[in-house]
Structure 1
Amino acid sequence: MLEYFTDMTWKESIKDLIDILIVTYIIYQIILLVRGTRAVQLLKGILVLVVIWALSTWFDLYTLKWLMNQMFTFGVLAVFIIFQPELRRGLEQLGRGKLFGRSSAEDEELNKLIGEIIKALNYLSRRKIGALIVFERETGLNEYTESGIRTQAVVSSELLINIFIPNTPLHDGAVIIQNNQIAAAACYLPLSENPFISKELGTRHRAAIGVSEMADAVSIVVSEETGQISLAINGQVVRDIKEESLISKLYEELRPATSTKEKRKPFWKRGGGATNS
């Protein structure tokens, strides 16, 4: 082994390093692909079988070793059958050129989340049903989720609409979304004490502004008087924001930032106007 490294040229060293980095990156992407799926548990089972096979070989347990060898003989075919959904998903992403794309899975998840939010907002806005949705970012909002009803539910437009339907148990208060899940509903938020806020804004808008002053949260309000949708960030509010602008802002604010400086930059300085009136 020592002679191998001694006789290596610098070209061979670079080639081997590139080879190792490529294999490491492929393994990392495969781990991301199966993360959060049933394949994780199956991989743990396979790891247990490998450990048993190693122990049977080490202690020369003939019968157990023979049994494990038979299992591994047919195991390759079994792996293709068991992991068929994950393999198909990986090939589809490879065909779309997204398997090795940066944060493609996160982007798809965020697009789905925003799509469900927009569908719910459009429904509530047309029917002038009041709503308040808050997105947690870096600053935790657990003190506010504890004031409401824990749900830990997948975000869907149907569920959001059902929550804010008047005279239902959860309609009065805010929905807080953490890690792309509805963490809690009917949450109470701090009201903004900013004296320059327009008197036209009601409790929901003041709560949306208030929580955005206390944390780096993103708040969306649907007015039950006008049906207008408003967006509040960093103590500032954009009233009657249009759907295209809302989608753009949500994607910009909720997407993992490429730099801390960009993430901390006030959203009204990145395009679009903000107003408190």
Structure 2
Amino acid sequence: MRIRYGYRIELVCAREMPLVTLLDVHPSRRHDLTMPDDMRVSALANPLLPIAVAQHLDAFGNICRRMVAPPGGIRLESEGVVHDSGEPDCIHPAAREVAPSRLPDEALVYLLGSRYCETDKLFDQAWALFGQVAPGWPRVQAIVDFVHNHLTFGYHFARNTRTAAEAFEERIGVCRDFAHLAIALCRCMNIPARYCNGYLGDIGVPPDPAPMDFNAWFEVFLGGRWYTFDARHNEPRIGRIVIARGRDATDTAMICSFGMHTLQRFEVITEEVSDTPMPLAPSLPAQFDARPAAA
């Protein structure tokens, strides 16, 4: 299947403002792109003003772009098409845990506590809740089931400072909170877990009437490979397009700005499209829905 995706974001600022973005599709999915998705950058006050953009990979292999927004603000937009297998998230109940002593070096960092995933505060609760559950896939699924039922989802619950331990106590959150709590509980059980964000459309499920947004989920290392889990939806989904991976939302912030600004526009789209090739539109369509950047 083919999935069309894209965004349009506008930031208003009074002075020059450096930015770092993580909005490009992750390198692991670049080979699936069937149409280019290069970011278009323009000044809000003067669309003809050239804006230099540099690109690099961060420590987690995500694509970063650096630029300076001019006084008045900046518009970021992109649109692309990716080929997807159409298969839902893989389920492998026999996948086993890997002992910390046998983990690959690159997985070790995903056992440690991080800014939003305080393993020290949740260690006792994790072992009390899941210590008697069969290790491996059953234990991870038990954690996902717990988080899915323990937290109540709502965009009005969004708070960008909420940590996993706070979500555990408050019992509310958005998709990043579901991911953070599940990640922290997995790490407490010596299971490497990493945070992911990206696109997830309503493919193969009833349409969600809420406007589209980016989504957060997580991956765990079992049986020598990474598997996808989603504590918010708690069901295999079709059409995930990864943008960034990291320890938690700190490493995967889609925009890091170094100055005061106002978010004037935030629009996201991801939808299945016909297999008949179609040329890209010169810009994102006007009918894009806007959802608060709360996931």
TM-score norm. by structure 1 comes to 0.22
TM-score norm. by structure 2 comes to 0.21
Ranked by relative contact order (alpha carbons within 8 Å, sequence separation 6 or more), the top structure is: 2
Higher strand share: 2
Higher helix share: 1
